[in-house]
Every structure is written in structure tokens, then in C-alpha cells.
Amino acid sequence: MAKYGLVGAMDGTERTDSARLDQICLFNLLSACADTIYFKDLESRFIRVSQSQADLIGAESPTAMVGKTDFDYFSPQHAAEAFAYERQIIRTGRPVTDLHEWNVRIGDRECVLSSTKQPLRDFSGRIIGTFGITRDITARKHTERELLAKTHELERIGRELRTLLESSPDPMARMDRDLRYTYVNPAATALAGLEAADILGRTSSELGFPEDYTRGWESALRHVLATGEPADVERNLVLGGTRRFLESRIVPEFDDDGQVRSLLVVSRDLTERKRIEETLAEQAVRDPLTGLANRRLFVERTNRALAALEGADTLLAVLFLDLDRFKVVNDSLGHAAGDALLVAVAARLQAAARRTDLVARFGGDEFAVLCERLSRREDAAALADRINRALTEPIRHAGQEIHVSASIGIATCCGVATADSGSGSESGPAADADALLRDADAAMYQVKARGNGAGGHLFFTEPIREQAVSRLAVETELRLALERGEFRLFYEPIYALRQRRLIGAEALIRWQHPRRGLLPPAEFIPVAEECGLIVPIGLWVLREACRTLAAWTRIYHRAHAANPAEQAPTMAVNLSVRQIADSGFADEVAAVLRRHRLEPAQLSLEITETAVHDAPFSAGTVLKALCELGARIALDDFGTGYSSLMHLRQAPVDILKIDRMFVSELGRLGQDEAIVAAVIGMARALGMTTIGEGIETAEQYRRLCELGCDQGQGYLFSPPMTAELFRATHLAQAMRAAPDTSA
């Protein structure tokens, strides 16, 4: 103590009080200090520890640690490192400060500790051990790591943002409150045709831009400075001898006090888009293929004509034309031939129309003609006749003659002076172009619906509108019917005529309409064909028919278990021309057959002569793929369509179905029996199966058997019925008639 000058300054009482005070201070220090404090002897055994030290390592109490070492509380590695430091301190007398001890495991967690270790000396200065103060800096280090990671992320984002700014094709610039440029990206310098050094620190006015331009531009910039609200500005100016159109977004940048300190301007060069818009505007009223007016110009001109018509003693007419069987030309001869046909038709329409009439093409094979200042409806009919005559002559392309006709619908509108003409087809003067086109289109559809492909014209009347509305309603309800599962399949049995043995069935669709009851196909299939719904409906029929056939096949096989060679029932499904025009249809059929484990030969796909005639050439590929799959192809309604023998060459036909029109006349005087005999003989020579349709009498059945017809169907055997009834009657009867080979 003398060395430190303490003993000589105190008497005995003072020394006692001072020692007491030292004890009190040490007790409070060890009890309340948040940092851990410990004292160790020369063997690194604890002689005093703070409460925080005991809490850190989970000791029972500070006194419980006395006499123990780090090896009693820490991992061997950490304890050995601490012991080595303490040996060094005792040996050298030099402290170790701010020592970071990493990955110190205390209990179930790893800590980072910051320690300062000192030699422990007695009053004479002799080293009698070590003491240290340790702080748990785990949370701080974690925060530092997070901050460092965020700093690196911000630096990365900054680099990427600068790369984005420097590489962006959009001009970008920053301006201070005096509207002087403080930053421009390379796209901005390229647009201005200046170096960045020539732009920075200057305003637009100082850069020599025209005064009328800078006045408006800087006014917009100052408005954003004043309001703090972003703004979008379109501007144009001449740069490098070229007029440029720019769309700029002005964004205010704020300081910590919420004041606008600068402006960021991001621009987009719209010059090329403006040029395209101008070009499109020039083309907007013309059909690019034919040079005729397009729908937009036609509607505008018609509406002007209608406005001028009020009070006039004249009428106007709109003729809506659709070329008959144009799709066949496109699909068979190619789009080049189709385009040539459209150009030729456009020229003939203009030649047939009056000089004052407006001829337009609406797209595809649809045309329209606006006729103004007509004195009577017959003038419009005369124009329709001239058009049909003009289209009579074949159009030649690439050495081929193309024949075309047009279905024409006519809608008229009269002025007030002729409003009481009583024709029943003119609208009042308030009609618009869309209404006239709608009515003419509805009349044209009725011409198309005649199905003769020979063209013609028809004036619009109210009954036609009612039919069009009804057709639209059916189309809308058809879409819902498919979603709601309102379709039903009925099955008409097909029998081998000589043996009167069940062969299978033909699946026939019906619509269970929620209000109108059970509807036959004629009520909705034509509409489905027209609007394209026939494809999803046809796919539903295929899947449902095959599902039913699979169930019947399982029953049939169980009944004929002793005779596995017995032929399973077949199913006939009708196809539309849209289905066989789909290149993926054969794959769909194959997938359905695999799903239900059916033999392809059990499926017969029926298509009419007319569908084969109207189908594109690609349909031949689809039919061939179906044939290669193993499915059977049947030509339905044979003899009622077009060139039948040609179709037998085009399609891989397995079955000819003799139309009920010929079957119904069998047994009577006439040529029908000779036709049926010829068809059967031809089919036999070609190795085809024949099926007679619509057999209703025993006499028809007898004559078909005598003529050698293979199979038949009709009310003589059974009307179409549900799958359940078919199974309970025809299928059950066929299974009862199965020969017993078990003996």
C-alpha cells in the first residue's frame, strides 16, 4: 500500500472505513454492472465474479463459480484460448484490450464477446492473477452484419440503377431549381446532338433551343417546381434537322424539409410512332388489298347520307354481299388465288355500281354497297341483279377458272316524304349505318340459308329480323347449354339385315331445352355450325358416345366370355366439316379411344357428301389419319350431294349410307330401286359396307335384303332411345341370342 501512498495518509479508523467502502463499491459493482466482471487467481480459477457473469453462463450464483475455471463452463477450445491469454498477461504484465471472442457457445446459443483482460495486482504491485470485463456484443455484431449487407445491396442497386440510366434508350435529365441541367444520360445527349459537358450547367434557353419552344417547356417545369405535382408533357422540336416528338414525365425531387430541390425528366421519343400513326391514318379508310373503302369510311359516309336524307323525296339502300363458297377457293387453290379473286370481284362490283355509289370491303369475303338518291326499291334490286350478272363470268387465275356468286341482302331507308310508301322494308329517317348493315346482313343470311350456292338477293323485312334475333338467342343458349350439360345422346340401333343381328348404334344428339323441351338437331345444329360451337359440341358427342360404348362393350364381353371372338358393338358418330378441317382431330379421337380402351374399328365416323365437298384439302389428311388409326369412315346421305364418285376417290370411305330418300321409295314404281341397286353393286365392287337408312316397312327391309344391302337402321327396328333403354332392350336381346359354346 505504501507504494501507492495510501497507508500514510490514513489513520486506523480511516483505513477501516475505507476498506468498508471498498467492499461496498465492489459489491455493488459485481451485483449491478451489466457487463460481466470476473477476477481469477494465478491458476485462472475464479475468485470473484459479477452477477451478470453468472447469469451469462447460467451458473447458480456468483459464489458457486469461485474455485472453478473456464473449462467448467465453456467449450474446451474457448477455455483453452482464454487460458492462453491469461498466461500471457501474467507472464508479460500487459493487458489485452477489446478482444473479440467469436462463436462462444453459451448454453444453446453462440455469442460474440468483447473482452478487456488486465493483470490483477496486490498493493505492492505483484501480479496475483487476472481480471476482466466482458460485454455480449452478439446483437451489435448481428446489426452490423445486416447493415453491411444492406450497404452492399444499396451499392449494388446504385450500380444497377446507373447502368439502367446509362443504357436506357429513353432520354433522362435532372435539373436544379434554376432549370439548369445537372445530369443527362447518353440517350439525352444523343438526342440533343451535344456532349454532356456542353449541356450540364445550362438551361434550355442557353442551349439555343427556339424561344417559342423553351417558353412553353420551362413554363411546365416551373409549374412542377411550384406545385410539387408530377406532370406529363408532349412536345415537339427540330433536332439535327429532324422534327422530334417527345412525351416527357416531369417528377419533383424533395429535400428533407419537403421542398422541391430538383426535377427529374424522363422522356420517350415518339417520332417513329407518330410517323406510323400518320401512315395508319391515311390507310384507315381504305382496304389495303382491293383499294375499296373499308367499314369505317362506309359507316361514316352512310351516316352522313342518312342525315341528309331527312325530308328528301328519295331513299337509300345498303347492299351487303358475301361470296358463296369463298373458303373452298382459299383452301383448295391457296390464299394467293383467294386474294386474286377478291381483287377481281372488287373491280366487277365497281363496274356494276353507279359512279355515285360507294363500294366497300369489310374483310374476308364481305362487301357492301351504299346507294344514295334512289327513287324506288326496284333500283336497288336492279343493282343486285347487275352484280350477280357481273360475277357470272369465271375469273381466271394461274390458268384456272374460278366461278363465284354472291348472296346479297338489301336494307333501305327513306326520307320523310316517302316514309308512307308501305313497302314494309324501309326504316325511318332515324336509322343509322349500323342498323342498316345489321338488317342487310340478316337478309343476306337468309339467302345463304337457302343453301343452293347460286347467289341471289333478298330485301330485309321484319320477319327476317325476328329470325335473326331468334338465331342469336339460340346461339347464346347453345353456349350455356354446353356449360350446363343440357345435351343428351339418343342411340338408334344398326342391324345386320340378313341375320337381323345387332351391329351397334348411331349416336344422335338432342337438346333438353329448359323451356322448349327436347329439341331435334335441325333446331340448333345449323346455328352451331355457323358460330363454331359445333366443334366443342362434336367433341362432347364423341366422348359421351365412346363412354357409353365402353360400358356396353364390357357388358357384351361378359356375356360372350366363352366366345371371345364375338364382335363387340360399334358406335357411329356424326362429324362436321369444321371437325375434319382440324389437323389435331385425329389425335383427339385416338386419345378418346385409349381412354376408354376401345378398338378403333368399333368407332364409325360419319360425314356427309356435302361436308366432304365443302371441306378444305387438308381434311383429306385428317380422314386418312383416322383411317390409319383404324376407325371406319362412313359417307352419309350418299347420292344426295355433289359428285359422289369423286368423293369416293377423295376420302378413304369404308361405309356407304343409302339415304332414306331412296329407301322410302323401295317397292314402288320408279328409278329409286335401280339407284339403290347400283349403289350396293358399286360398294360391293369397292369392298365397302352399305347401310340403308330410314327403314320403316317390312317391304323396304325385304327389298334391301334382296338387293344385297349389308346393314340397316330405322323405325322398323327401333326409334332412337336413351342409352339405358338401348341396353335394356337391344343389347339385352343380343346377349340372350348369343350362342352357348360352353358345352
Per-residue pLDDT tens digits for 184-194: 889 888 888 88
Q: pLDDT band at residue 571, thresholds of 50, 70 and 90?
A: very high
Q: What is the pLDDT of residues 673-700, one digit of tens each?
A: 888 998 999 999 989 999 999 999 999 9
Q: Do residues 241 and 348 both lie within one domain?
A: no
Q: What is the pLDDT of residue 238?
A: 80
Q: Phi and psi of 61, rounded to 5°? A: -165, 165
Of 314-323, 630-639, 694-703, 723-732, give the lowest mean pLDDT range.
630-639
Assess whether 210 and 357 both reside in one domain: no
More confident residue, 482 or 330: 482
- Contact in structure between 528 and 548 (CB atoms under 8 Å): no
How far is CA 80 from its chain centroid? 68
The answer as to whether 636 is a domain residue is yes
Cβ contact 716:695 at 8 Å: yes
Phi-psi region of 489 (alpha: psi -120 to 50; beta: other; left: phi over 0): beta
Phi, psi torsion values for 195, nearest 5 degrees: -80, 155
Q: Which three cell numbers stand for residue 174?
A: 435532372
Sign of the C-alpha dihedral, residues 510, 512, 513, 517? positive
Q: Are 319 and 360 in contact (CB under 8 A)?
A: no
Q: Are residues 441 and 507 in the same domain?
A: no
- The rounded percent of the chain whose pLDDT value lies above 70 is 88
In this predicted structure, what is the pLDDT of residue 562?
Answer: 62
**Domain shared by 194 and 77, yes or no:** no
Range in 142-151, 207-216, 259-268, 334-343 with the lowest mean pLDDT: 142-151
Quick check: helix, strand or coil at residue 624? helix
Q: Please give the residue range of the domain that contains residue 118.
A: 33-136
CA dihedral 655, 661, 664, 666 (to 10 degrees): -70
Tell me: the pLDDT tens digits for 612-628?
Answer: 766 655 677 888 999 99
The helix/strand count (H/E) of the chain reads as 27, 27
Least confident residue range of 359-373, 437-451, 460-474: 460-474
- Together in a domain, 453 and 481: no
According to the model, what pLDDT value does residue 171 have? 87
What lies within 8 Å, CB to CB, of 698 at 6+ separation is 716
pLDDT, average across residues 359-374: 93
Query: Is pLDDT larger for residue 22 or for residue 525?
Result: 525
Chosen domain end from 400, 431, 460 = 460
Does residue 485 lie in a domain region?
yes
Q: How far apart are CA 327 and CA 339, in angstroms?
A: 11
325 and 199, same structural domain? Answer: no
Separation between Cα atoms, residue 724 and residue 732, nearest integer Å: 11
Q: Is the pLDDT of residue 42 over 70?
A: yes
Q: What is the CATH number of the domain that holds 668?
A: 3.20.20.450
Most confident residue range from 402-416, 452-466, 679-693, 724-738:
679-693
Residue 291 within a domain: no
pLDDT number for residue 595: 96
- Grid coordinates representing 259? 421542398
pLDDT digits (tens, 9 = 90+) for 265-320: 988 888 888 887 777 776 778 898 999 999 999 999 999 999 888 777 889 999 99
Q: Answer whether residue 610 is part of any domain.
A: yes
Q: Report the pLDDT value the prediction gives residue 429, as an integer from 0 to 100.
A: 43
Q: What's the pLDDT at 97?
A: 84
pLDDT of residue 551: 94
pLDDT at 6: 37
pLDDT at 351 over 80: yes
Question: How far is Cα 498 from Cα 603, in angstroms, rounded to an integer?
Answer: 22
Tell me, yes or no, whether 91 and 198 share the same domain: no
* CA–CA distance, 365 with 579 (Å, rounded to integer): 22
Model confidence at 591: pLDDT above 90: yes
Q: What's the sign of the alpha-carbon dihedral 549, 487, 620, 692? A: positive
What cell numbers appear for 461 in the block? 323485312
pLDDT (0 to 100) of residue 9: 46
Instruction: Confirm if 116 and 95 have CB atoms less than 8 A apart.
Output: yes
Residue 188 sits at the vertex; the CA angle it makes with 245 and 170, to the nearest 5 degrees, is 65
Look at residues 224, 372, 233, 364 and name the one whose alpha carbon lies nearest to residue 298.
372
Pair type for strands 406-414 and 456-459 = parallel
Do 484 and 336 reside in the same domain of the chain?
no
For position 207, what pLDDT does the model report? 84
Domain identity same for 222 and 330: no
Q: How confident is the model at residue 453 (pLDDT cuts 50, 70, 90)?
A: low
CATH assignment at residue 203: 3.30.450.20
For residues 432-459, give the mean pLDDT: 83
- Whether 454 has a pLDDT exceeding 90, the answer reads no
Question: Looking at residue 738, what is its pLDDT?
Answer: 57
Averaged over 153-179, what is the pLDDT?
A: 78
> How far is residue 59 from each of residues 265, 330, 339, 472, measured CA to CA in Å?
65, 94, 96, 88
Verify that 592 and 527 share a domain, yes or no: yes
Question: Using CA of residue 50, residue 56, residue 61, residue 62, what is the dihedral sign?
Answer: negative
Q: Is residue 308 a part of any domain in this protein?
A: no
Q: Are 500 and 737 in contact (CB under 8 A)?
A: no
Query: Does 418 have pLDDT greater than 50?
Result: no
Q: Count CB neighbours of 510 within 10 A.
A: 19
Q: Are residues 328 and 364 in the same domain?
A: yes
Q: Are residues 453 and 482 in the same domain?
A: no
Strand order in the sheet with 260-269: 181-184, 172-176, 260-269, 242-254, 231-239
Write out pLDDT tens, residues 597-614: 999 999 999 998 777 766
Ramachandran angles phi, psi of 171, nearest 5°? -65, 135
**Within a domain: 118:** yes
Q: What is the pLDDT of residue 436?
A: 93
Four-point Cα dihedral 339, 341, 343, 346, nearest 10 = -140
Q: What is the SS3 assignment for 205-222?
A: CCCCCCHHHHHHHHHHHH
Is the Cβ–Cβ distance between 119 and 130 less than 8 Å? yes
> Please, what is the average pLDDT of the chain?
84
Tell me if 445 is assigned to some domain: yes
- What does the pLDDT read at residue 517? 93
Mean pLDDT along residues 44-63: 86
Rounded Cα gap, residues 5 and 126, in angstroms: 16
Mean pLDDT of 13-33: 73
Is residue 379 in a domain? Answer: yes
Q: How many structural domains does the chain have? A: 4
Q: Is 257 exposed, middle or buried (0-12, 13-18, 19+ CB in 10 A)?
A: exposed
3-state secondary structure string, 449-497? HCCCCCCEEEECCHHHHHHHHHHHHHHHHHHHHHHHCCEEEEEEEEEEC
Q: Give the range among 465-474, 649-658, 692-701 with minimum mean pLDDT.
A: 465-474
